[in-house]
């Protein structure tokens, strides 16, 4: 199932909403339904995401003027996470690498 990420400006701030349903048939508005917020607890809180939750947590349907929208992305559902895994290099990894060179 595809998800849509809509980038727009509201109250002089840039926002992005992710939703399961998007309707572009209205002549002046982008209609966004079924808003999706990331689930689970986080170690680091993103202030912009927290603002979005506060502003849109009880919203079922929002219509944003086309003039406010800067970009619309269509994503596969598994692409919504912005977390990128990375490896932490420890002392054991460094000594293993040094042993390979000799």
How is residue 37 written in tokens? 């917020």
Q: Say yes or no to pLDDT of 96 above 60.
A: no
Collapsed DSSP state (helix, strand, coil) of residue 59: coil
Beta bridge partners, 72, equal 6
Q: Which domain holds residue 97?
A: 2-101
Question: How many independent structural domains does the chain possess?
Answer: 1
Q: What is the pLDDT of residues 20-79, one digit of tens each?
A: 999 999 999 999 999 888 776 667 777 777 788 888 888 888 999 999 999 999 988 665
Look at phi and psi of residue 64 and say left if phi exceeds 0, alpha if psi is from -120 to 50, else beta: beta
């Amino acid at each position: 199932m595809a998800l849509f990420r809509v980038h727009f400006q509201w109250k002089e701030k840039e926002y992005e909403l992710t939703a399961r349903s998007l309707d572009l048939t209205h002549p002046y508005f982008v209609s966004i339904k079924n808003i999706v917020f990331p689930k689970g607890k986080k170690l680091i809180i993103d202030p912009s995401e927290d603002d979005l939750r506060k502003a849109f947590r009880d919203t079922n349907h929002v219509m944003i003027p086309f003039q406010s929208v800067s970009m619309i992305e269509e994503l596969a559902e598994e692409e919504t996470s912005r977390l990128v895994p990375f490896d932490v290099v420890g002392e054991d990894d460094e000594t293993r690498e040094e042993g390979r060179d000799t």
